[in-house]
Chains A and B, each alone.
Chain A
Amino acid sequence: MIAAGLSGGYAQQTNAIRAHNAPDVLHVEYQGLPQILLTGGLRDLTADMADLESQYSPAAWRGVRPDGRTWAVPMDLAPMVFYYRKDLFDQHGIALPRTWDEFRTAAARVKQVDPQARICSFPLNDGSFFAGMSWQAGDPWWTAQGDTWAVDITGEGTLRTASYWQSMITDNQVAGVVYGSQDWIAGIHDGKLWGILGASWSVGTLNRSIPKDIGRWAVATMPTWDGKPANGIQGGTAWGISAESKQPEAAMTFLRWLSTNPDVPKIGSAFSTPFPAHLPNRAVARQAYKGGFFLGDPVYDVLDEAAKRVPDWTWGPNALRLFSTISDSFGPVRSGGTTLPDALRKVQQHAVADMRARGLSVREGKSA
């Protein structure tokens, strides 16, 4: 057993690959896959997986094929969604925001009703969250072009996202507490946070942190920039097979079972809310979902719709490191030491320099 990816698991896996004693099956999030590929430790699964393409959500299928070869078996998908206190929104006549402009108005209304409350928190120390928010804007940070990475962290869509949230922070319209922290849970408990910018797995967090808040929360797809449906993703799991595995066929059989057998989401539904990347299994999970916690649209309808709206995106070979660079650069934003767009320009420089130093072929700017 090893810890979850960003809390040390990737380091342990990478070291195991280096030491030539990696386990047969490796846990990889979509966002970490290209960085793990740099170790050369994963087996090419293109041929083994070819027959399954049509059964997976397109976003997940793209996620395991950063360069057109299949490197992992998709497990689940984590489209971002907006959770909100429907009871409070309704009570104070605040309409569910469908665009980010409406979101700003709704945020101001929440603060007006209760000066201590905020519409949501915008955590600055979570690069993977910010990436998911930028994903929606439709300018991928990386694109594999032939043998070269195009790196574009300061694309128009990303900068628009950054400027928007910078103004929300400057106007004190959003809280700054870290998702899942004690501060955050306290805010949710005390009714000081009326919404959550979360992902499909936040259903589990909500059920765990506030099991008694039945009938208060609802879930909706993310507000959009111009009314055109779009949605980001935060996280999501796949499984790879070690290049040096002595039982690759057995591992493949197991992973195909894990990813596509309908018993798996049935078991998963007993203690969480799985959102499988495998479409037939997603139907099984939807059936098995107990429900009762949320008001409004059924959770799986919203998640399905959110997953459909996900634009193209490729994770780069330095994504995990970039997350910590982002959180380092965003540190002084709250005290006014820098702004989100300025910090992002530094992140772009840092990322390009870092990738070049490692010998990768890099081009700055948008994909041609």
Chain B
Amino acid sequence: MSVLAPERAPVLDEPSAAPAVRTRKKDFAGLVLAAPFLVLLVSTVLVPVLYALYLSLFTERLQGLGFSGPENVFIWLGNYLSVITDKAFHAGLGNVALFAFIHIPSMLIGSLVLALLLDSGVVRLRQMWSLAVFVPYAVPVVIGGLIWAYLYSPTIGPIKNLLGIDPLSDSAVLPSIANIATWQWVGYNMIIFYTALQAVPKEIVEAARADGAGGFRTAWSIKIPVIRPTIFVAVVFTVIGSLQVFTEPMVLRGFTGTVTSTWSPSMYVYEAAFVAGDNGRAAAASVLLAVICAVLSAVVMRFSTRRSSR
């Protein structure tokens, strides 16, 4: 997750004493108002992050049969090194890259098209349709995953018969996972895009129409460019969500052996911490994952500002 700090207004030198007192009072009020947020930020984000950084530098070293218990040893960046050189971690990154490659375009195009259709007025029963597409987002991810897992199950689900391929086999399981995520998020992003489309000035759309632009042309050349910042925000969130994909593959893992215990980087972290009992390596992997997320979202943001300023 990346937090964008608002730029601080330059502090002006106050020559007289009286306004300085007022400023101090104001500062105090600001502090009180910000306190609930600060307490939560410190206790649920900053402290755990710092603790993870601390943990990532240590390992529990055993000896002999191991029954004399572990000894906590400082190993500098040893955990990072073992994560970076771990083939399972590479495979996990490869999986989420492929997952993102399928999920991001299909989800974004799907929700954009649906939003444009809703906005264009060609759709009757608009409320019903938007609710129908949005409902999967309201279904908890685990429940959604289970529903799909049953649909995917080769002997009791219909999908194998419909498509002729086993959706849980090792070649098809990745698209199957992407499909669950896409199903879940299309409605959510459709609502975001639809809301952004509501804010497109009517005059521009009418002007385009007066110039002879049809529905497609208006959508492509007017509406999409206007809501481009919203689309980029959605891309950033989806990129981060894809990198951190966890629940869908975790649920399917109970139904097939083709989802490995380290299928995605988040599952790698989970496996390291809670199956292997190696907290140091788990912390290092999660720090690396956070860094990758931050870099990727920075790249997407940079790309989007460049595009919008053109």
Contact = CB atoms under 8 A, between A and B. Distances in A.
Interface of A: 8, 10-11, 14, 18, 34-35, 37-40, 66-67, 69, 123-125, 144, 147-149, 177-178, 181-183, 186-187, 192, 317-318, 320-321, 324-325, 327-328, 330-335, 337, 354, 357-361
Contact of B274 (A8, A39, A125, A181): A8
Given A8-B274, A328-B260, A38 B153 contact: no
B52 to A, nearest CB: 14
Given A183-B154, A334-B169, A40 B65 contact: no
A328 B262 contact: yes
Contact of A358 (B62, B257, B273, B274): B62
B275 A148 contact: no
Contact of B275 (A11, A37, A123, A178): A11
Contacts of A318: 276
Nearest to B172: A335
B155 A183 contact: yes
A354 B82 CA distance: 11
B235 to A, nearest CB: 32
A119 B170 CA distance: 24
Contact of A37 (B67, B82, B150): B67
A335 B259 CA distance: 13
Given A38-B69, A148-B64, A178-B255, 18 more contacts: A10-B274, A14-B274, A14-B277, A37-B67, A40-B68, A69-B67, A123-B257, A125-B256, A144-B65, A181-B153, A181-B254, A327-B257, A328-B260, A331-B259, A333-B257, A358-B60, A359-B61, A360-B65
Interface-central residue, B65, B70, B262, by most chain A CB under 10 Å: B65
Chain B interface SS verdict (over half): loop
B258 to A, nearest CB: 5
Interface size classification for chain B: 35 or more
Contacts of A321: 275-277
Contacts of B273: 11
Contact of A357 (B82, B257, B260, B261): B82
B88 to A, nearest CB: 8
A303 to B, nearest CB: 28
A38 B257 contact: no
Contact of A360 (B62, B171, B258): B62
B66 to A, nearest CB: 5
Contacts of B66: 34, 37-38, 317, 358-360
A11 B155 CA distance: 33
A331 B261 CA distance: 11
Nearest 10 Cβ contacts at the A-B interface: A40-B69, A125-B257, A11-B274, A328-B260, A324-B261, A147-B64, A359-B61, A331-B257, A359-B62, A124-B257
A18 B258 CA distance: 33
B162 interface: no
Nearest to B277: A14
A332 B275 contact: no
B124 to A, nearest CB: 38
A178 B257 CA distance: 9
B65 A149 contact: yes
B70 A40 contact: yes
Interface-central residue, B70, B155, B259, by most chain A CB under 10 Å: B155
Interface of B: 60-70, 82, 150, 153-156, 169-171, 253-262, 271, 273-279
Contacts of B155: 177, 183, 186-187, 192
A330 B276 contact: no
A331 B170 contact: yes
A359 B63 contact: yes
B82 A320 contact: no
Interface-central residue, B62, B271, B277, B279, by most chain A CB under 10 Å: B277
B62 A38 contact: yes
Nearest to A175: B155
A182 B64 contact: no
Contact of B65 (A123, A125, A317, A327): A317
A324 B169 CA distance: 18
B255 A181 contact: yes
Contact of B261 (A18, A328, A332, A333): A328
A126 to B, nearest CB: 8
B63 A332 contact: no
B92 to A, nearest CB: 11
Nearest to B73: A359
Given A186-B155, A321-B276, A331-B259, A361 B170 contact: no
Contacts of B255: 178, 181, 183
Contacts of B276: 318, 321, 354
Nearest to B62: A359
A325 B272 CA distance: 12
Contacts of B277: 11, 14, 35, 38-39, 321
16 contacts: A14-B274, A14-B277, A34-B67, A38-B277, A40-B67, A149-B65, A182-B150, A186-B156, A317-B66, A328-B260, A331-B257, A331-B258, A332-B258, A359-B61, A359-B62, A360-B63
Contact of B69 (A39, A147, A186, A325): A39
Nearest to A317: B66
